[in-house]
Amino acid sequence: MSADPGLFATIHTMRAMRRLKPDPVPEAVLLKVLEAGTCAPSGQNLQRWAFLVVTDDAGKRFFGERYRHWLHARFGAALETAAGSSDALGRSVKAALHLADHMHEAPVLLFCCGVRDWPFAVPPEARSGLAPPSYGSIYPAVQNILLACRGLGLGASLTTMHQMFEPEMHEFFGIPDTHGVVAVIPIGYPRGKFGPVSRDPAPTKTHFNRWGQGRPGLAEPAG
Ligand SMILES: Cc1cc2nc3c(=O)[nH]c(=O)nc-3n(C[C@H](O)[C@H](O)[C@H](O)COP(=O)(O)O)c2cc1C
């Protein structure tokens, strides 16, 4: 296991790591990751998250097959076209396709779930069907989990393609309708190397005092 790289190096090198070795992740390491997740903030500190750790073949195969099917059904030929390019998008799509083909080989599939709860802005008369899970209260835990994985030398990536077949997951894994699945994180030791993330500089996304105002010496905010 590699040494903890430190907070800022962790943040700056926490790329989606979609190529994973099949070597098992020790349960003590996984629990450390989950402890980091549950340190996250949540609305009113209600901590309405729940995690399902899937390590058995039947569960991983069930999930992997559907994930792969829906990735192709949703994005179709555009995926193969993008994967043919040698630019950053092409590399990312190739990795996403690799993950879909090998999802069932990931040592751990971590389902991050949240209690369903109507957002304040949805008035009672507009509520029908199932409420969504409170994404805002679950994503901080998801991010902590991704950072903890990186800090512990584990590869992980955030996926949401399960939205295409979530009802089937509820049935197969016995997840109650009180909860929604917010993200699925395949976790394992990385095949590749960690490297810096590629992002637009913060000033291009930042306005000061009034929308559209930048700061002398900094790049202008876009849009
Ligand atoms: C809300 C959200 C949903 C995502 N869903 C998927 C997904 O279903 N499959 C996948 O391979 N990556 C998914 N990603 C990962 C992004 O594609 C990835 O973080 C982004 O392309 C940046 O790549 P990098 O972190 O390697 O730089 C998702 C990320 C977010 C934040």
212 within a domain of the structure (yes/no): no
pLDDT at 82 over 70: yes
Distance 216 CA to ligand 1 centre (A): 33
Distance CA 64, CA 159 (A): 12
pLDDT for 95: 94
The pTM of this model reads 0.96
What is the structure's pLDDT at 107? 98
Asked if the structure places residue 27 within a domain, the reply is yes
Q: Is the CB of 15 under 6 A from ligand 1?
A: yes
Distance CA 141, CA 149 (A): 12
Hey, what amino acid is at 157? Answer: S
Distance 214 CA to ligand 1 centre (A): 29
Three-state DSSP at 167 gives helix
- In the predicted structure, residue 83 carries a pLDDT above the cut 60: yes
**Structural tokens at position 168:** 């089937």
Rounded to 10°, the helix 57-75/166-173 angle is 170
Q: What is the CATH number of the domain that holds 132?
A: 3.40.109.10
Mean pLDDT is lowest, of 67-71, 139-143, 192-196, for 192-196
Residue numbers of the domain that contains 118: 7-192
What percentage of the chain exceeds 70 in pLDDT?
Answer: 99
Per-residue pLDDT of 36-76, as tens digits, reads: 999 999 999 999 999 999 999 999 999 999 999 999 999 98
CB 174 within 8 A of CB 180: no
Q: Which atom of ligand 1 is nearest to the CA of 71?
A: 8
Within a domain: 210? no
Query: Is 138 domain-assigned?
Result: yes
The answer to whether residue 131 is domain-embedded is: yes
Into how many domains does the chain fold? 1
Q: How far is the CA of 162 from the centre of ligand 1 (A)?
A: 13
Three-class DSSP category at 50: strand
216 is a domain residue: no
CA angle 168, 47, 155 (to 5 degrees): 65
Nearest to 19 by CA among 156, 129, 113, 116: 156
Could you tell me if the CB of 158 is within 6 A of ligand 1? yes
pLDDT at 1 over 80: no
Angle at the Cα of 187 from the Cα atoms of 13 and 102, rounded to 5 degrees:
110
| Ligand 1 atom nearest to 18, measured from its CA | 11
Please check the confidence at residue 35 and state whether its pLDDT lies above 90.
Answer: yes
Residue 165 has pLDDT above 80, yes or no: yes
Q: How far apart are alpha carbons 141 and 209 in whole angstroms?
A: 30
- For ligand 1, the distance from its centroid to the CA atom of residue 213, given in whole angstroms, is 30
Question: Going by CA atoms, what residue is nearest to atom 20 of ligand 1?
Answer: 16
- For position 2, what pLDDT does the model report? 61
The pLDDT, as a whole number, for residue 76 is: 86
Q: Is the CB of 79 under 6 A from ligand 1?
A: no
